[in-house]
Structure 1
């Protein structure tokens, strides 16, 4: 049904429609009629759209019979409509053979037409004779959208937002495109075949979302979807995403300061779609694997859903999070996905969960090279299991914990949590966060504790992000209640030096009575005396007095151990102070040679070859004719053409020497405030990082840091001095220990005119 814009004045609204609107239990009862008319609305499978030039042209081309409803009758019908239109439509198999984005009775079927057919908004009788040959009865009990595009033209460029997927059980299957190979994968870590069919906005168009799912049991498979966001995201009531999942009425505006009524933000009739399935899609990137020029806002946004399954998707290069929940995402299953390089220019965390998320699981994912935390829980309702994931090399832009927990009864088990410029797992105490179990994980390369329990008085952003350090023993009930996991005390070994007799080592200690004590080998010669908890090696249970004992084998003199305690009423503690193993004669061997640093790498294209024979490093320092800085114009953070040429040289060196990692340090001249310069320097470092990302440099190899005006190049106050200050320095690290000489450069120096001073 299409309303004519000329009939949209509220002055024409009869009184009986106002009464009907207030009496109905529809999601629109609290909306003004003007809001309804000026919105794109999907209710129970029916679409009511404001008539625009595009919409009117669409209607004319289809030669649909104009429905001469009065405004009163039309709106009243909307408010009381009880059933889905798709419930009365047969299940269809529709083959999309055109990359155009139009609705017209011609020689091909578009994706937009296929969605309207399966929604029941378009009938087979409205198709041309040739188009009808592409539609048949589905052999299954659900509708299907399949693809048969030309091999030379497989990218669908959208001109406006697609209709929501509103047919229960609908399958949108990109794997049906000829040429799709389900047996091969360009990534060795998790097998996710390369898609062929791509959905993206037409260049120059800003489209909020790729696919919107509002029905139960919808499956989206084997597609590349990228480039979806709004130009001005600050005014959005609902967010952009490659795939957005919510109930069929428009989600309410959750940006309001106060809820409009006690049912905020959803009404009982706003039933969330159940059992949505997303699998084998590439979100945020094209099939060639390159970062697109126009990035998406978010990957998967679960606004309101039950039982959504996100399985084996590659979710990369988004401005915000790869996966984010909002109001309800109970029983969300996120498993075996590759989640890399997200949070580039917005919400930095790879997976951010908030709202009602009970019985959700994050299992078996590779979460690498994202800009903030790997998993970030913000005031959730319900418990989440985080199991058997690789959460590595995150915090590339913002130093945060690899896993950040709010709430109660979460379980973090069996994960590899490593190479984080922050702690491993932080549990906040605001609000109270208790009974969180953190066991059998392997930690490495952390700047902080493996497990850090925050105290309530530590509520500054830095504490939320990187913890508050090791807690002193909690001796009172008040101290325990104001600390995460009820402030459960870390175990204490009977001695910091443990004597080994024969092959056995007896470990004695004290922990919370009735707790499970899990012992770990500590492999790193870390500066901290707490952890990191490298490898679980045994467990014991403390008695009623809190005493525990355990006999271990397989340890060698010089090895170090730590421990954590988990109590069913409290949760898991912070690590114990490390203890060292001594030989039977009381000696401790010297520390072994440090292990070479791990080269940041999120993905490998093929299984790694066998290790090559060791070649001694060259005696002479490796001298590379490569610049180590770029410069910026006054009060700017964009990359000039001259700086781009410099960064191309840097990118070439990074590709040639994959063992190099870099830190990008942003700087400004001393003018303007300290806070302003700090933010400007951060934007400059981020611009350099994003440019190198587009050149194919792995996000795990780059971190950024802002120094503002604190580290000037000179002490002068001339325009040349200030131009030298406005820079990003590229700090190279050779992980093999070779000395490398890099050169400063000023070919891109940008000197403002004398009148350009701030």
Structure 2
């Protein structure tokens, strides 16, 4: 399924996906005939109370969610309801509303097939109306999002493409838990499965009438996208018990075609693909103060993936943590987006990608905290050409790459483009402006690699940068180029590129770097750091090993700290689990070992694990790398289902490159077919290796 979703975002299939919208329409008509609207919608707003978690349409004493949606849509006349059901429907108010009064213990609505689209304007589906909902209580300290009571999920044994589908203006979905919506076999490349799917009504196949934003859009002008949809205070992909569901959703919110959508204060976790994804149009979208954690478990790995028309969209104040790829990934967008004041950390759990990956021009990445990334901080691609992207006032920490990396077109490898291609040479020819991101704006250079701190209370910094550019000086942590951790000051280069700045509170051993930003080009890569020293002493060596904190995305509201820290303990847990020949599934024997590992990691929250996937020497290197990656991914996902937070685990695939035993016997092969755990703990806990699940081939 997720391989099919990946096709959605490849340029090779972009035209094809639009043609297949006709197939989508036919599929939806077949799968959900009650989604087809009658021509006469309700003439007034309605207030409908859902009092049954069943998924049926019949005149009885209970009103279901499916019935409520059809009533407000005008496809289920009131005269077809029972007398008891009619009592649950009243008219009046500024907007239509579906509220909930489900019996205690019956608050999970398990749907058998796709629910009808929400097709009437000014509609509110409000899970906060369920008795017992506590709007002032949150399970998380980072962003307060109340725990929902009402859940919408799939019925056991059923495969349902989407949870709620929005096709009308000013629809609000609030206070619900929605999970378990996917399609294992796919439908088309055009309409991905999602917990919440936002689009215009079923599009026609004729492409002659629609012009912008793309000439090949298969929409009539009358098929306008819904505007001002609000998704707020929901839990998507995660149960009210804070668990990963048995059936994981494909995506969280899919803005397939919408304008001015607001996605605010939602908790979005445990999706096979991205937590938020756009496709055709999503301009003016506001993604504000969401918790986006642990997505991309099986397919498209990025926390937020933006495609299509996204002009004037903004990502602000979100916690984007422990997703399998980038925190934010832009793929051939049209228009520009602002990424501001987000906490983006511990991403790249499965793929080494930049925390923020930009395609396109005129994007702004400002005032974000970007840290603990298995990759670079911000990477800007050069294919297609991407210019005038501004990266300023961010704080970076512990990156496996540059804080800002401008790709050049001569590096065409996937890894280069997703994780950066390293330091660029000076812009020494006109061609470099055309083949490098941000027009290959020159990196600043300090006039001296060292500066003295004991002559004056302030330190004068001089250098050369892009003429007439703004130069930002940062304190750097880490070795080599390090990470731009703290903004120390800002100055302006003159028309010859010279700049100077006086800095205070610089200590011996401090390292500083600089970036420059010019409105015609964008922001540069960071300069190689200069280091502070005293007159009589050599410069201090940079810190080579900066201790990592406990990987943690979320925490409970503050509780009293224990007065005495716990003593280190000695654990006896296995270091490997093993796999059958050419298999990637978890055997019953391996599951028992993983249960022990989950128990140990649960008891000791300071333990982290790197999961290294291995194979034996048979088959090609490429095949074995993919097989080992699947083994590591399935192992990690099993532990997530046992309650281990995804940010505590990182996946690496080594294939046959690090054999445990070099022999070729069946026992040697069995020992090499493994996922190896590299445990770390800041308290120095000892780990004793055991081996009890070898699966010898016959």
Q: What is the Cα deviation at residue 717 of structure 1? A: 2.1
Match of 1:100 among 47, 54, 63: 54
Would you say 1:709 and 2:656 are equivalent positions?
yes
Whether 1:539 aligns to 2:505 is no
Question: What does 1:5-24 correspond to in 2, within 5 Å?
Answer: none
Contact 1:516 1:567 (8 Å CA) reproduced: yes
Residue of structure 2 in register with 1:684 after alignment: 631
- How far apart, CA to CA, are the structure 2 residues paired with 1:539 and 1:376? 29
Matched, 1:514 2:468: yes
Quote the residue 1:554 is aligned against. Answer: 505
Q: Separation in 2 of the partners of 1:640 and 1:664?
A: 17
Q: How far is the alpha carbon of 1:554 from its aligned partner?
A: 1.6
Q: 1:608 to 1:394 in 2, by over 3 A?
A: farther
Residues 547-577 of structure 1 deviation map (CA, whole Å, 9 limit, x = unaligned) = 1111111211221111100000000000011
Q: Is the 8 A contact 2:515 2:527 kept in 1?
A: yes
Distance 1:749 1:36 in 2: 47
Secondary structure of the residue that 1:116 maps to in structure 2? helix
- Indicate how the Cα distance of structure 1 residues 284 and 592 shifts in structure 2: closer, same or farther if over 3 A, else same: closer
SS in 2 for 1:672: coil
- CA displacement, residues 661-709 of structure 1 (integer Å, 9 cap, x when unaligned): 1111111112222211111111111111001111111111101111112
Offset at residue 264 of structure 1 (A): 2.5
Q: Give the direction of change, closer, same or farther, for the CA distance of 1:689–1:750 in structure 2 (3 Å limit).
A: same
The equivalent of 1:195 in structure 2 is 148
| C-alpha distance in structure 2 between counterparts of 1:40 and 1:452, whole Å | 43
Task: Return 5+ residue gaps in structure 2 as ranges.
Answer: 1-18
Residue from 468, 479, 487 that aligns with 1:527: 479
Asked if the contact 2:376/2:405 (under 8 Å) is kept, the reply is yes
Quote the Cα distance in structure 2 between the aligned partners of 1:694 and 1:37. 35
Shift of 1:270: 1.5
Alignment check: 8 A CA contact 2:162 2:181 kept:
yes
Match of 1:136 in 2: 90
Q: Distance in 2 between matches of 1:117 and 1:172?
A: 13
- The counterpart of 2:40, out of the listed 69, 85, 88, is 85
Instruction: Please give the alpha-carbon distance, in whole angstroms, between the structure 2 residues aligned to 1:453 and 1:611.
Output: 46
- SS of residue in 2 equivalent to 1:685: helix
- Given the superposition, is the C-alpha separation of residues 285 and 592 from structure 1 closer, same or farther in structure 2, using an over 3 Å criterion? closer
Q: 1:605 to 1:398 in 2, by over 3 A?
A: same
Q: Deviations over 1:212-245 (max 9, x none)?
A: 0000000000000000001212755421000000
> Residues 189, 718 of structure 1: CA spacing in aligned structure 2 closer, same or farther, 3 A cutoff?
same
Aligned equivalent of 2:646: 699
Corresponding residue for residue 114 of structure 1: 68
Shift of 1:181: 0.4
Tell me if the contact between 1:499 and 1:586 (Cα under 8 Å) persists in the aligned partners: no
Whole-angstrom distance in 1 between the partners of 2:101 and 2:244: 26
Structure 2 residue matching 1:742: 3-state secondary structure: coil
Query: Do the aligned partners of residues 727 and 321 (structure 1) sit closer, same or farther apart at CA in structure 2, a change above 3 Å counting?
Result: same
Contact 2:362 2:387 in 1 (8 A): yes
Cα offsets for 1:411-452 (capped at 9, x unmatched):
000000000111000000001100000000000110100000
Cα distance, 1:541–1:243 mapped onto 2, change above 3 Å: same
1:281 aligns with 2:248: no
Deviation at 1:592, TM superposition (A): 6.6
Mapping 1:191-590, distance limit 5 Å: 191-233=144-186, 235-250=188-203, 262-500=215-453, 501-522=455-476, 524=477, 526-528=478-480, 530-585=481-536, 587-589=538-540
C-alpha separation between the residues in 1 aligned to 2:508 and 2:561? 31
Could you list the runs of 5+ residues in structure 1 that have no partner in the other structure? 1-29, 42-48, 59-77, 754-758
Task: Show CA shifts across 1:175-229 (max 9, x none).
Answer: 0000000000000000000000000010100000000000000000000000000
Tell whether the 8 Å contact from 2:31 to 2:114 is kept in structure 1 after alignment: no
Calculate the aligned-residue CA RMSD, in Å.
2.4
Cα distance in 2, alignment partners of residues 321 and 38 from structure 1? 26
Residue in structure 2 matching 1:637, options 567, 571, 584 = 584
- Specify the SS of the correspondent of 1:580: strand
User: Do the aligned partners of 2:292 and 2:320 also contact (CA within 8 Å) in 1?
Assistant: yes
Give the distance between the partners of 1:527 and 1:262, measured in 2 at CA.
49
CA offset at residue 50 of structure 1?
8.0
Asked whether 1:750 is paired with 2:695, we answer yes
1:40 paired with 2:28, answer yes
Moved more, 503-512 or 402-411: 503-512
CA distance in 1, matches of 2:638, 2:31: 41
Q: Distance in 2 between matches of 1:409 and 1:265?
A: 28
Higher relative contact order structure (alpha carbons within 8 Å, sequence separation ≥ 6): 2
What is the SS of the residue equivalent to 2:507?
coil
Q: Is the Cα contact below 8 Å between 1:238 and 1:251 reproduced in 2?
A: no
Is the alpha carbon distance of 1:89 and 1:196 closer, same or farther for their aligned partners in structure 2, counting shifts above 3 Å? same
Contact 1:428 1:464 in 2 (8 A): yes
CA gap of 1:693–1:202, structure 2 versus 1, over 3 A, is same
Distance 1:181 1:652, change over 3 A: same
Per-residue Cα deviation, 1:264-285 (whole angstroms, up to 9, x for no partner): 2333221000000000000001
Q: Which has the larger radius of gyration?
A: 1
Q: Where in structure 2 are the equivalents of 1:608-619 lying within 5 Å?
A: 609=560, 612=563
How many residue pairs get aligned? The number is 674
Q: Does 1:156 align with 2:109?
A: yes
Take 1:211 and 1:50, find their aligned partners in 2: how far apart are those partners?
A: 15
Q: Aligned equivalents of 1:177 and 1:253: distance in 2?
A: 44
User: What SS does the corresponding residue of 2:483 show, helix, strand or coil?
Assistant: coil
**1:453 Cα deviation from its structure 2 partner:** 0.2
1:660 maps to what in 2? 607
TM-score by length of 2: 0.93
Deviation at 1:659, TM superposition (A): 1.3
- Say whether the 8 Å CA contact 1:531–1:576 is kept in structure 2: no
- Paired residue secondary structure (2:344): strand
Seen in structure 2, the aligned counterparts of structure 1 residues 457 and 435 have a Cα distance that, compared at 3 Å, is: same
**Does the aligned pair in 1 maintain the 2:326–2:354 contact within 8 Å?**
yes
C-alpha contact 1:238 1:253 (8 A) present in aligned 2? no
Q: 1: distance between equivalents of 2:456 and 2:215?
A: 69
